[in-house]
């Protein structure tokens, strides 16, 4: 027997933005420890005095450190891909100027910029590994041994 009409009902829905839960867990990224200012950053946040019972002090310092880490992550490590792209573009410009002008001062400057790019790429790979919980998605990120050779 053939059916004259479908037994399925159309689904009507809409999308409202779902707010982030207030009790979302804080995640520490190992990438933060690679920053040279990391220890000073933590010390500065931790040494600010708080009055109260020892457990209260610990809880308040942890909350404060979490807030400062979130702010620091957004402003220092946020948009890592953009930061890498900007530094790569700067490196390419320096290398093109070096090839055209053969200016001796551009050689060391270009070398320093190449080191900065390599360091960012080395930081990015473990970051994605931790963010994806080590499931292999990050393996497309490779750190080249030389970015551009002369």
28 within a domain of the structure (yes/no): no
50 within a domain of the structure (yes/no): no
The residue range of the domain holding 111 is: 80-140
Tens digit of pLDDT for each residue in 10-38? 666 666 777 777 777 778 878 788 778 88
Helix, coil or strand: residue 102: coil
pTM surpassing 0.85? no
- CA neighbours within 13 Å on the CB side: how many for 19? 3
117 within a domain of the structure (yes/no): yes
Give how many domains the chain has, as a whole number: 1
108 within a domain of the structure (yes/no): yes
3 within a domain of the structure (yes/no): no
91 within a domain of the structure (yes/no): yes
25 within a domain of the structure (yes/no): no
Contact 110, 95 (CB under 8 A): yes
Tens digit of pLDDT for each residue in 59-103? 999 999 998 888 888 887 777 777 778 888 888 888 888 778 777
């Amino acid at each position: 027997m053939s059916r004259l009409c479908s037994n399925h009902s159309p689904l009507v829905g809409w999308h409202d933005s779902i707010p982030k839960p207030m009790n979302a867990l804080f995640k520490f990224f190992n990438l933060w420890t690679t920053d040279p200012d990391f220890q000073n950053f933590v010390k500065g946040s931790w040494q600010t005095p708080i009055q109260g019972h020892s457990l209260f002090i610990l809880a308040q310092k942890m909350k404060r450190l979490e807030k400062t880490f979130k702010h620091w992550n957004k402003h220092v490590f946020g948009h890592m891909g953009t930061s890498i792209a900007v530094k790569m573009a700067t490196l390419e410009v320096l290398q093109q100027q070096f090839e055209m002008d053969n200016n001796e001062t551009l050689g060391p400057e270009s070398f320093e910029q190449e080191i900065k790019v390599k360091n960012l790429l080395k930081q990015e790979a473990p970051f994605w590994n931790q963010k994806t919980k080590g499931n292999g998605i990050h393996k497309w990120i490779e750190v080249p041994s030389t970015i551009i050779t002369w």
